[in-house]
Structure 1
Amino acid sequence: MTTTMTTTDESDVRRHELAAFLRSRRERITPEQVGLDRGRRRRTPGLRREEVAQLSAVGVTWYTWLEQARDIHVSPQVLDAISRALLLDPSERTHLFALAGAVDPAPGTSCATVTPGLRQLMEQLEPVPACVLNSRYDILAYNRTYGRLFCDLDALPPEDRNCILLAFTNDDWRASVADLRESTRSMAAKFRASMAEHLAEPAWKALLGRLEAASPEFREIWARHEVVSQAGRTKQIRNAHVGLLSLEHTNLWLGPAAGPRLIAYVPCDDESRAALEKLQAFVLSEV
């Protein structure tokens, strides 16, 4: 007779695995490694729970509950802070997020989603523009033609490389979108649909606040409470270097539907392919 693990059972197993993993990582770190004084009467191997909480800027009780496998919500931002406090290497960080059932959202950091193989794949897709986005529209990685498709991404700081932010605030990006009004409306609706699962997370709230402060257009669209799902479609893009492009926007999900995805812009006709080849030649000429 076979038995099937219920969702509740699986969640309980995950919490206990997470708790054991956190304890094991905490116990292997010496206070000196993180700039703390060992003191004379230390019995705990490695760091104390309150020291990890202090280094992660989370409550001691809350962190204790994590190590006790309590049923509490853990945001990706808190996991990021704990990962840094415990000096996790990339493989351990990946394991931490997997146990917590969360997607590592951190732009500008080494992301488990963007493997060397995936970066190589994006390079081989050229001249087809391609990038990896998370559900918050952060651009986690991109190839050279995507880097010049809408604007010069290399010239922007990592914290500004976010599609929805650029669509509402960057003049070069906005000038490249043929149907700007429909595009921004669709992006805001997709962002609202994605944010439903992340309402309490600081990074999402910070991005929303930044958009509302910077763009009256965004505030007006956001007030409509429209939602749509992710879908591929044909886009008309006026590239500053090679002119009008007709491209098929295609999503390839790299995990759960709400997680990161590879996006490619495949030319719809010979003229657009030739234009992308010119764009690739232009980018290479600057190297």
Structure 2
Amino acid sequence: MSKSKELGLFLKKKRATLSPDQFGFESNKRRRVEGLKREEVADLAGVSIDWYVRIEQGQDVNPSIDVLNSLSRVLQLNNEEKRYLFNLSDKKVPVEVTNTITISDTLQKFLDNQNPNIAYVTDSKFTIIGWNKVALKVYGNYKEMNEKERNSIWRAFNDNYIKELLDNWEGHSKLRVEQLRANYSYYENDNKINEIINELNTKNSLFNKWWNNGSIMGIPEGQKLLHHPIVGNLYLSYISFKSTEIEGLNITIQMPVDDNTKNKLQQLIQD
């Protein structure tokens, strides 16, 4: 199969996976196609219907990078699918220069669906960038914190709430420092995190000791005990996994190990 034919088939299959309701189009029995219609995709992408029909038919239309970006957005392609789309068009995905990571609607829905399990997302610098409701109730209101305050390593050494919340503050903080070292390649040229590292190295002897001891650790699973000021002890198991979409992104889920803890977490999100 030629790349043009494969491109047309790929676009056809992707639009069939999208719900018309997502885009404000009526979904009823008279609709004869699964997902979006060709004219709906064309309209949303800002291209002519004739052009879009030609590309789905496998004709050699040579779409521009701007059009491919637009189709990627409308069809909600992930990074791998976007690279595939560009490859079929004999083009390279442009490098996007940005320091801001956006939590997608799909990822946010995943986090919200974890309630009453605690769920949050950290970037490669261990800054919290996404969360669900119970995470706010347990760890504090990230919505009101600035980027520095949401950094797990800075907060571990500067926030008394976290120091009192964690049953094993020293073990937690040592692990976080060693994990930060393990991620150094992601942020070595990032001024913000290097400012935090320099500040902690200067002001905190424990951070300085752990940062310079050369240990590198990563523990994706385990258990922890928290002492919450309202509901008391929370016994949790946790698992972390990396996103394949964004380099360095880490998703953590913390789950109650007993019914008593589960009831306490449910109580927090109902208040």
TM-score by length of 1: 0.57
* 1:17-166 aligned within 5 A: 99-100=94-95, 105-106=99-100, 111-112=101-102, 114-166=103-155
Structure 1 pair 243–257 and aligned structure 2 pair: CA distance change class (3 A):
same
Structure 1 pair 209–233 and aligned structure 2 pair: CA distance change class (3 A):
same
Letter in 2 for 1:281: Q
Letter in 2 for 1:228: M
User: Once the 2 structures are TM-superposed, how far is the Cα of residue 105 of structure 1 from its aligned partner?
Assistant: 5.0
Distance across 1 between alignment mates of 2:247 and 2:211: 20
Letter in 1 for 2:260: E
Letter in 2 for 1:277: Q
Structure 1 pair 206–119 and aligned structure 2 pair: CA distance change class (3 A):
same
Letter in 1 for 2:233: L
**Contact kept? 1:255, 1:261, Cα under 8 Å:** no
Partner residue of 1:277?
266
Partner residue of 1:171?
160
Letter in 2 for 1:118: L
Distance across 1 between alignment mates of 2:251 and 2:152: 14
Letter in 1 for 2:208: R
> Between Structure 1 and Structure 2, how many residues are aligned?
187
User: Once the 2 structures are TM-superposed, how far is the Cα of residue 243 of structure 1 from its aligned partner?
Assistant: 0.8
Structure 1 pair 101–153 and aligned structure 2 pair: CA distance change class (3 A):
closer
User: Once the 2 structures are TM-superposed, how far is the Cα of residue 241 of structure 1 from its aligned partner?
Assistant: 1.5
Letter in 2 for 1:122: L
* 1:170-249 aligned within 5 A: 170-249=159-238
Structure 1 pair 188–239 and aligned structure 2 pair: CA distance change class (3 A):
same
User: Once the 2 structures are TM-superposed, how far is the Cα of residue 206 of structure 1 from its aligned partner?
Assistant: 2.1
User: Once the 2 structures are TM-superposed, how far is the Cα of residue 115 of structure 1 from its aligned partner?
Assistant: 0.5
Letter in 2 for 1:245: L
Distance across 2 between alignment mates of 1:233 and 1:105: 31
Q: For structure 1, which segment, 209-218 or 128-137, has the greater mean C-alpha deviation from structure 2 after superposition?
A: 209-218
- Aligned with 1:274: secondary structure? helix
Q: Is the counterpart of residue 260 in structure 1 residue 255 in structure 2?
A: no
User: Once the 2 structures are TM-superposed, how far is the Cα of residue 214 of structure 1 from its aligned partner?
Assistant: 4.3
**Contact kept? 1:133, 1:260, Cα under 8 Å:** yes
User: Once the 2 structures are TM-superposed, how far is the Cα of residue 198 of structure 1 from its aligned partner?
Assistant: 3.4
Unaligned runs of 5+ in 1: 1-89, 283-287
User: Once the 2 structures are TM-superposed, how far is the Cα of residue 258 of structure 1 from its aligned partner?
Assistant: 5.7
Unaligned runs of 5+ in 2: 1-71, 74-78, 83-92
- The percent of aligned pairs where both chains have the same amino acid is 15
Residue-by-residue CA offset, 1:145-187 (whole Å, 9 max, x unaligned): 1012123333422332111111111100111000111111111
- Aligned with 1:160: secondary structure? coil
TM-score by length of 2: 0.61
Residue-by-residue CA offset, 1:188-225 (whole Å, 9 max, x unaligned): 11111111453333233223123224433212222222
Whose Rg is larger?
A: 2
RMSD: 3.1
